[in-house]
């Protein structure tokens, strides 16, 4: 089993993108295998150009194996995917035109494969590069047919070869144009998807984050509380809820304007979340009110956390407004009771906060 894993690692690597490219190589390898089988059948059937047919068979087989090595070690060889696509496209066209020259009476049917080659190129080449490959294919095909007519006009009548050329050239151009449009459409859809993903990310951010303070907003906080309520149920896990209100915020707005009030809110938020632990959630609850959730915390530990927060907030200065301005908050903190809805817990915290404001502000009361 270990030997098999090591062999898979050696042949296929571990990169998903590389494995996908090798799967594409495997699909084209099967296609080549069918073509080689047809050529060998022609040889067994007594085609007058058996020697050349065998050469084409060997050329195809060696080329396919060589491309496995190039694809497998493309990173080590520093070969870009588009370079591999061009090389494989040119090789496939050369194999197909070579097979056309030695196949015999059924050679016209083999020209369909040229269109398949062009379609494969849509996944790696830009429309202009695909068009250039199409033009090169038509040129190579025309030169080959002209040489065949000149070498053996009886086996290759000019009128038949001209019809083959005209139909193949028209089909190649049509397929190339269509694949080019498909490539543009894929690129357009990809850009739209990227824009949609970015827009969804922005909407998600706006739906969960308060734009002014960069804290969680009330809507998201409610979702967190509902999820926590479902998760905990009546397990008795300790969790504390605190409501905080910036003191004299109306006076700040009256003195410094709403821009000054916004600066105080931003400064408070930045200072308050500094002492939060992983799992703690601080949200702007409304106006100058903030709600703090402290999971796995009893009331004594919650009071310590809020004391540190009050000390840090009291030490900040909003230098853009007034270096003498001291920001403080009043708060109420409670521990959730068993099976108590968070709405009731918040109501109790709100009452405790009101007591702190009535008691002189700049304090936290634990109910």
**Catalytic center residues:** 288
- For residues 260 and 282, give the distance between their C-alpha atoms in angstroms, rounded to a whole number: 22
- Tell me how far apart the alpha carbons of residues 95 and 135 are, in angstroms, rounded to a whole number: 17
Residue 205 has what DSSP assignment? H
Report the C-alpha gap between 321 and 261 in whole angstroms: 10
Q: Please give the Cα distance from 85 to 81 (Å, whole number).
A: 6
Lateral strand order in the sheet of 239-246: 281-286, 289-295, 239-246, 329-335, 364-366
Is 302 within 8 Å of 209 (Cβ atoms)? no
Residue 122 buriedness (CB in 10 A; 0-12 / 13-18 / 19+): buried
User: CA dihedral in degrees (232, 233, 237, 240; nearest 10)?
Assistant: 80
Which tokens in the block code for residue 330? Answer: 């009043």
> Phi, psi (5° rounding) for residue 15?
-75, 125
Q: Torsions phi, psi of 103, nearest 5?
A: -70, -40
Instruction: Using DSSP bridges, classify how beta strands 329-335 and 281-286 pair: parallel, antiparallel or unpaired.
Output: unpaired
For residues 26 and 37, the answer to whether their CB atoms sit within 8 Å is no
């Amino acid at each position: 089993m270990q030997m098999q894993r090591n062999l898979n690692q050696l042949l296929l690597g571990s990169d998903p993108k590389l494995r996908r490219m090798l799967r594409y190589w495997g699909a084209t390898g099967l296609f080549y295998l069918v073509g080689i089988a047809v050529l060998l059948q022609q040889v067994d059937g007594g085609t007058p150009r058996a020697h050349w047919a065998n050469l084409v068979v060997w050329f195809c087989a060696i080329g396919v194996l060589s491309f496995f090595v190039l694809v497998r070690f493309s990173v080590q060889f520093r070969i870009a995917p588009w370079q591999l696509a061009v090389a494989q496209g040119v090789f496939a066209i050369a194999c197909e035109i070579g097979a056309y020259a030695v196949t015999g009476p059924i050679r016209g049917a083999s020209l369909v494969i040229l269109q398949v080659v062009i379609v494969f190129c849509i996944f790696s080449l830009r429309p202009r590069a695909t068009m250039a490959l199409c033009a090169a294919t038509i040129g190579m095909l025309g030169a080959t047919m002209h040489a065949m007519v000149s070498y053996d006009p009886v086996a290759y009548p000019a009128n038949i070869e001209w019809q083959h050329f005209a139909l193949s050239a028209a089909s190649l151009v049509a397929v190339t144009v269509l694949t080019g449009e498909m490539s543009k459409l894929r690129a357009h859809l990809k850009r739209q998807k990227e824009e949609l993903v970015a827009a969804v990310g922005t909407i998600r951010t706006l739906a969960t984050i308060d734009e002014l303070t960069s804290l969680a907003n009330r809507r998201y906080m409610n979702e967190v509380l509902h999820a926590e309520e479902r998760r905990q149920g009546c397990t008795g896990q300790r969790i504390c809820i605190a409501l905080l209100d910036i003191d004299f915020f109306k006076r700040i707005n009256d003195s410094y304007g709403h821009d000054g009030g916004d600066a105080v809110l931003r400064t408070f938020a930045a200072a308050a979340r500094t002492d939060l632990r992983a799992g703690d959630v601080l949200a702007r609850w409304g106006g100058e009110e903030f709600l703090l959730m402290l999971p796995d915390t009893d009331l004594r530990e919650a009071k310590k956390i809020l004391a540190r927060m009050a000390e840090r907030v009291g030490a900040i200065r909003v230098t853009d407004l007034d270096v003498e301005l001291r920001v403080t908050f009043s708060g109420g903190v409670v521990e959730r009771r068993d099976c108590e809805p968070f709405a009731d817990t918040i109501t109790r915290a709100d009452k405790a906060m009101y007591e702190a404001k009535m008691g002189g502000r700049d304090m936290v009361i634990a109910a």
